[in-house]
Structure 1
Amino acid sequence: MKEGAMSRTTGAEGMETSYGFAAVAGAEEKQARVNDVFHRVAQRYDLMNDLMSGGLHRLWKDAMVSWLSPPRHAGWRFLDVAGGTGDIAFRLVAASGGKAEGTVLDINASMLGVGAERAAKRGLDGNLTFVEGNAEVLDLPDDAFDAYTIAFGIRNVPRIDRALAEAHRVLKPGGRFLCLEFSEVEMPLLDRLYDTWSFRAIPAIGGAVAGDRDSYEYLVESIRRFPNQANFARMIGEAGFQRVSHRNLTGGIAAIHSGWKI
């Protein structure tokens, strides 16, 4: 589908039954199709992130971890959802001086396998636990974590409101929610350049490097279906979080959203 063929949704309406720009029967079909995408791209996921963003995703992830600013004392626990390959978890442990304890949860076993292997090579087995699970129904206790992070994953969740409610439930009082996600470009001209790059270059790179053009077409389309900054912030507030705010990155190509469980 060509750029501009569908405008961004203002809220989460339609996300449950959309697979990119295509309509699906319901949340179960969407989840199955998304799972298939990430099984296919798992081994080259991080390489493709570098190619698609020109390496900017690394700076964006560093910015999220810096805003969270993990304490350097034992006992601080975080949950990183949709974090299968470990990128955010590794940064959080490093920022804590090796003190943080994290659970990396992902619905996709292939992504988790990549992350667990990377963690073992870094000697982080004692800090991190990798768990297969669904963001909409976390098999985790109430009030268990000091921080909940999710980077470039929540737009792939069919029922975003359920995932946000679960994030609120598993955080301790005083705990913090941070989400890094592609968002709505707010700089004139940059939006047109970004659309051209997204719809023309990224699927072509996916086809050439990962041998999978279709998966990267979905990923580009899913960005355009995700709520913009103001509407996603509203959803975070509706889930019970307070002091909700966001920071744009690179003109709004991505944004970090923050909320507190008070």
Structure 2
Amino acid sequence: MMTAASLVAFALVFLGATTGLSALMAAAVLASGGALRRRGPWVERRAAAGALVLPPLLALGLVAALAADSALGVWAGTDHCLDHDHHLHLCLLHGAAWASQAWALALVVFAGTFAAVRSGLSLWAHAVAQRSANRLRSLGTELAIRGCFVVPSRERFAFTAGLVSPTVLLSSAAWESLSPDQRDAVLAHELGHLAHGDLWRRAALGFAASFGAPLLASRVLGVWSLAAERICDRRAALAVGRPSTVASAMLALVRTSSQRTAPAGAV
């Protein structure tokens, strides 16, 4: 009879496959960082996204195939286990023995809890970012471009936040310190994040990274984020016609902005 305990072995396969594939793909992306950068930010971003998304998907496909093979035997009324001793093996009918293995249970519980905490923290960061965006938007003044707000603040910042209602937020201090061309560059950069769906993409990749190899997956997510910034810089350069204007605007914000101003889920 199939029980929940029979799924322990399949969970181990998923964890092992996900971690192994994540480590291999992440290491490949990190090792070829220079080559990827030379090919452009779009290539770099796609490579990083693939290294984050493919491991859990491939592992899930492997587990589904193994479970389907076992389920097919159950449906056909055949018991392949009669051909061998009841040792530990992948089986929906006779896999409950895995639950008696303390190390297997401990590994599944630990890895499951670790992934749940990581994904929960990622979702919480985006929820906080949405709440912060709503609050700042209520205090700010909307510009001629819909979804862009200038918020009264002595801090210099410019970021995009909010999965449900994405908003571009700039402080009054930053807005007043920039020239008209620099303002256009900053707005074009932030609107690029909206056009490319960077907020929800980063949220999805952060969730996928929670199942990947610790540390390595986080570094690959950082590669994706930097590539996304470079793409938006190029978009801004095309919008204003001068890359130097984009560079000067971003440099002015980076030099004077506080790292604590933007919420964790913002871009």
User: Shorter-chain TM-score: which interval?
Assistant: under 0.3
- Please, what TM-score do these two structures have when normalized by structure 2? 0.28
Larger proportion of helix: 2
The higher relative CO (CA closer than 8 Å, separation ≥ 6) is in 2
TM-score normalized by structure 1?
Answer: 0.28
Q: Which structure's CA Rg is the greater one?
A: 2
